[in-house]
Amino acid sequence: MGEKLREADQLIDISLPEEAGSVLGHDAAFSSLIAQTQANQLPSAIMLHGAKGIGKASFAFALAKEIFLITGDEKKLQIDRQVAAGSHPNLFIVRKTAKKPKGFYSDIRIDEVREIQKRMRKTRGRKGHRICIIDAIDDCNIKSSNALLKILEEPPANTIFILISHRPGSLLPTIHSRTQKYALKTLSDEMVQDILIDKVSDISPKNIENCVKLANGRPRRAIMAAMLEGLNILSDLQNWLDNEANNNHIALSEEIIKAGIAEQEFAREIIIDWIANQANFVAKNNINNRYRFASINKLWDKANEMFNQADIYNLDKKQTMVAILDACYNYNSTYNIK
């Protein structure tokens, strides 16, 4: 790409959310907010929440462009160019910032929030609404969360805050109470496939199939999977969890660890997602088996704790993976998951 990274989790050679031309899979929520804009009934703060990688940031920037178009006096092409370049004077973006000489801070600090407050006190750069996108509110630490809450309690006139959250349950209740919430769902496999083909060139039909399955409704994950050399190993892991619960998890763990750090991180997400899906299945289908529900909750706690402990204390990654997959195997065997 050759450009300075704007985001801590930016994917190389993949267009940024602010460059998105349209919103896929979230039409109802988007249409509702556009209608509110046209009726001059937008709330001062909106929260877009849902799984990471489903297009919440792209939604936020696409919405910002439409709000600028409806409330301002500029043409669409000019607005699109300025938003994509990060230069629109009525757009404020709060993210984890870069630190010198390289890398990004691990959270959104109070300095970033104070900088936005300072900029908002200045004269409006253009006619129309101002928009502040917080991507993601989950990244705020306690100090920056409290500073942001003060702004939400007394927002500047004609300013819309769009908060993006992957984990709304972890946010302050007072932040929830100040926002109108929109739950965005995962996308269909067909939509994920269309986005993957559009974003990643020269990908085989077999890899497309594997990436879409690993994505679990999240286009960003499909794209990330396509960039990994260990895609086949991750597909093996997903298949093993879903319907092949045999006792070859030691060999599988070895292959995951050998593949590399990116594959290990992706494998973690696959395992945690699988556990969450099992818990959702039990809850949604009203399965009257309190032992099974207790087992899957225990497995959730164990997997998250072991992964966290391995990171904190630099424990053996292979042994950690083996232990967690062994617990998944036991759960599969006990409840005949196929």
- pLDDT per residue over 274-286, tens digit each? 999 998 888 888 7
Q: How far apart are CA 170 and CA 152, in angstroms?
A: 18
Confidence of residue 2 (pLDDT cuts 50, 70, 90): very low
Whether residue 4 has pLDDT greater than 80: no
Residue linked to tokens 């946010």: 171
Secondary structure class of 116 (helix, strand, coil) = helix
Pull the structure tokens for residue 169.
């349950």
| Paired strand residues for 102 | none
The pLDDT of 320-338, averaged and rounded, is 87
- Mean pLDDT score across all residues of the chain: 91
CA diameter of the chain: 66
H or E stretch at 165: strand 159-165
- Annotate 54-96 with three-state secondary structure: CCHHHHHHHHHHHHHHHHCCCCHHHHHHHHHHCCCCCEEEECC
Q: Write out pLDDT tens, residues 194-242.
A: 999 999 988 999 999 999 999 999 999 999 999 999 999 999 999 999 8
Helices (H), the chain: 27-38, 56-71, 76-85, 110-120, 142-153, 173-177, 189-199, 205-215, 219-226, 231-243, 249-259, 261-284, 290-313, 317-335
Which tokens is 98 given? 């870069």
Give the C-alpha separation, 289 to 159, whole Å.
50
Residue-level pLDDT at 284: 82
SS3 for 138? helix
Residue 1 — very low, low, confident or very high, per pLDDT cuts 50/70/90? Answer: very low
Q: Assess contact for 89 and 125: CB atoms under 8 A.
A: yes
pLDDT band at residue 3 under the 50/70/90 scheme: low
Residue indicated by tokens 């929030």? 113
Burial level of 172, CB count in 10 A (0-12/13-18/19+)? middle
- The structure tokens 């199939």 sit at 209
Amino acid at position 267, single letter:
A
